[in-house]
């Protein structure tokens, strides 16, 4: 007989989930994890953003949902908070930044800022919370990468390099933490309607071109990233590690932006 309870395998009851980066997609992920029964801690550099995400969660006081400000580039603050929060079963990392410029126009400061948050921030957060998971012998770590981990366009070079780098960290962490029972995976969104993509969607031709690139012919909504994250967090994905789940509407599956005649 199977050891999985098929009726409950997607549930996260009695688990503590930490979401790092709670604006936009992160806020939806926090809400989704809570809806599956998890006790959620919302972390963000901006205290108001963390608290706003926590405020959306059902039965916040009764369920013990919490919110804290923290900068993932502050290693000591992360370590203190990780000790304060105690056992963490699920860690979701969404914090990232992009500077859209061609590479030859990039400044050193801009390069360091993008690489610092996207790569070093991921490293810092995993080190702070992953060690406890390894000691306990269980846990699920989920990072958000991007279609840019696989495909690029002008102006996305440094961001794309960091997202590809995060995926290599995911694979290495899966190999290193797997023997301790910790799974590490990534979710790669396509183009999503968030405040960060407003510049693109405000340009009618640019926004339409992005929509038409996917097989579904539209942009994603932030809540459409939640299902993949909750699955990876749950027992339903108990044998999934080192993987990158594409939630891109078929963007990376399609060759080119032209449909040739087939008749």
Q: What is the mean pLDDT of the chain?
A: 94
Is 161 a domain residue? Answer: yes
Confidence of residue 61 (pLDDT cuts 50, 70, 90): low
As a whole number of angstroms, the distance between CA 162 and CA 94 comes to 13
Range(s) of the domain holding residue 119: 16-193+221-247
Is 171 a domain residue? Answer: yes
Domain count along the chain: 1
- Please state the rounded mean pLDDT for residues 239-262: 89
Is 198 a domain residue? Answer: no
197 burial type by CB count under 10 A (0-12 exposed, 13-18 middle, 19+ buried): middle
Is 39 a domain residue? Answer: yes
As a whole number of angstroms, the distance between CA 145 and CA 172 comes to 15
* Predicted TM-score (pTM) of this structure: 0.94
Is 24 a domain residue? Answer: yes
- Distant-in-sequence, close-in-space partners of 207: CB < 8 Å, separation ≥ 6: 200, 201, 219
As a whole number of angstroms, the distance between CA 53 and CA 111 comes to 29
Q: What is the CATH number of the domain that holds 123?
A: 3.40.50.720
60 or 166, greater pLDDT: 166
260 or 101, greater pLDDT: 101
Confidence of residue 198 (pLDDT cuts 50, 70, 90): confident
The pLDDT of residue 26 is 97
Confidence of residue 257 (pLDDT cuts 50, 70, 90): low
Is 78 a domain residue? Answer: yes
The pLDDT of residue 235 is 97
The residues that bridge with 246 in the sheet, in sequence order, are 188
Helix pair 157-177, 121-136: axis angle to 10 deg: 10
- Distant-in-sequence, close-in-space partners of 5: CB < 8 Å, separation ≥ 6: none
- Please state the rounded mean pLDDT for residues 113-118: 96
Is 68 a domain residue? Answer: yes
Q: Is pLDDT above 90 for 262?
A: no
Instruction: Based on the residue annotation, tell me whether 159 is a catalytic residue of this protein.
Output: yes
Candidates 6, 68, 106, 159; catalytic one: 159
The pLDDT of residue 4 is 86
Contact 75, 1 (CB under 8 A): no
Lowest mean pLDDT among 25-39, 55-69, 114-128: 55-69
- Please state the rounded mean pLDDT for residues 81-104: 96
Is 236 a domain residue? Answer: yes
């Amino acid at each position: 007989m199977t050891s999985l309870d098929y009726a409950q395998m997607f549930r996260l009851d009695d688990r503590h989930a930490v979401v790092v980066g709670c604006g936009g997609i992160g806020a939806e992920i926090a809400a989704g994890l809570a809806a599956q029964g998890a006790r959620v801690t919302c972390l963000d550099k901006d205290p108001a953003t963390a608290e706003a995400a926590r405020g959306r969660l059902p039965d916040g006081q009764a369920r013990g949902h919490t919110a804290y400000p923290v900068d993932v580039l502050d290693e000591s603050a992360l370590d203190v908070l990780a000790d304060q929060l105690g056992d963490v079963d699920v860690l979701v990392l969404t914090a990232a930044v992009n500077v859209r410029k061609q590479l030859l126009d990039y400044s050193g400061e801009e390069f360091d800022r993008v690489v610092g948050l996207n790569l070093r921030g991921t490293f810092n957060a995993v080190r702070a919370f992953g060690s406890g998971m390894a000691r306990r012998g269980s846990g699920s770590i989920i990072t958000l990468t991007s279609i840019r981990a696989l495909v690029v366009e002008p102006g996305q070079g440094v961001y794309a390099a960091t997202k590809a780098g995060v995926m290599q960290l995911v694979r290495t962490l899966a190999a290193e933490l797997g023997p301790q029972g910790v799974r590490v995976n990534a979710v790669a969104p396509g183009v999503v309607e968030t405040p960060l993509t407003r510049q693109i969607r405000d340009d009618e031709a640019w926004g339409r071109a992005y929509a038409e690139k996917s097989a579904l012919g539209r942009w994603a909504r932030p809540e459409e990233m939640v299902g993949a994250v909750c699955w990876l967090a749950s027992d339903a994905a108990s044998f999934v590690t080192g993987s990158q789940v594409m939630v891109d509407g078929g963007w990376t599956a399609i060759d080119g932006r032209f449909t040739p005649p087939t008749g």
